[in-house]
Structure 1
Amino acid sequence: MSTTSQTSGFPLAMASEDTAVRIISLQGGASLTKRLTEMGLNVGSEIWVRQRQGAGGLVISRGETRFALGFGMASKILVCPV
C-alpha cells in the first residue's frame, strides 16, 4: 500500500509560526496553481512560515521574498516539515 501526499502532508494554513516546511502538493485549480508557481511556490520548494495573522492568514518567505497568503490559498497548499 503506497502513501499519498495527503496522508503525510497538512495544509500550510495549519503550520506553526517560525517553521520551515516543504511544499508537496498544490490542491487548487489551474489558475491558482499557475499563480503560485509564477510566485516561485512550486512543489518541492522550501518556505518559512514567518507570521500568523488574524483568521488564518500567513506571512511566508522563500529566500529573501515574503508573501502574504489568505487562509483559503494557504489551505490549498499541502506541506510537510523540513
Structure 2
Amino acid sequence: MSSTSSPQSLPLSMAGENARVRIVALLGGPGTVRRLTEMGLNVGCEIIVRQSQGGGLVVSRGETRFALGAGMAHKIMVCPV
C-alpha cells in the first residue's frame, strides 16, 4: 500500500471512459486504503473505466464492476497502460 504517487500518475477521476489504467498508489487514511484493497482495487492491478458521469465512475477489474464516488476516485492514483 503506497501513499506516494509517480510523476506520470493522475487521479482515477481524471481518466477518460474506456481508459485502461494501472493503480500506482492509494491515498487517504488507513480505513480508505483497507476498504479499497478489500474490494480488490489494490496497487498494481489494472482496471478499465467503463463509465464516467459527473464525478462518479464505474470501473471494472476482470468481470467485476465497481461504482466509485468522486471523492474515492480522486484518492486512487493511476497511470495509463
Gaps of 5+ in 1: none
| TM-score normalised by L of structure 2 | 0.92
Post-superposition shift, 1:51? Answer: 0.3
Question: Per-residue deviation at 1:6?
Answer: 3.8
**2:71 corresponds to:** 72
Report how far residue 5 of structure 1 moved.
Answer: 2.7
Calculate the TM-score normalised by the size of structure 1. 0.91
The 3-state SS of whatever aligns with 1:42 is coil
SS in 2 for 1:7: coil
Structure 2: state its 5+ residue gaps: none
2-side partners of 1:40 and 1:77: how far apart? 13
Quick check: which has more Rg, 1 or 2?
1
Task: Quote the sequence identity (%).
Answer: 68
Q: Deviations over 1:2-55 (max 9, x none)?
A: xx734220000000000100000001110000000000000000000000012x
RMSD (CA atoms): 1.1
For residue 79 of structure 1, report the CA deviation from its aligned partner: 0.1
Number of residue pairs the alignment of both structures matches: 78
Partner of 2:7: helix, strand, or coil?
helix
1:15 aligns to 2:15 (yes or no): yes
Runs of 4+ in 1 over 2 A off after TM superposition: none
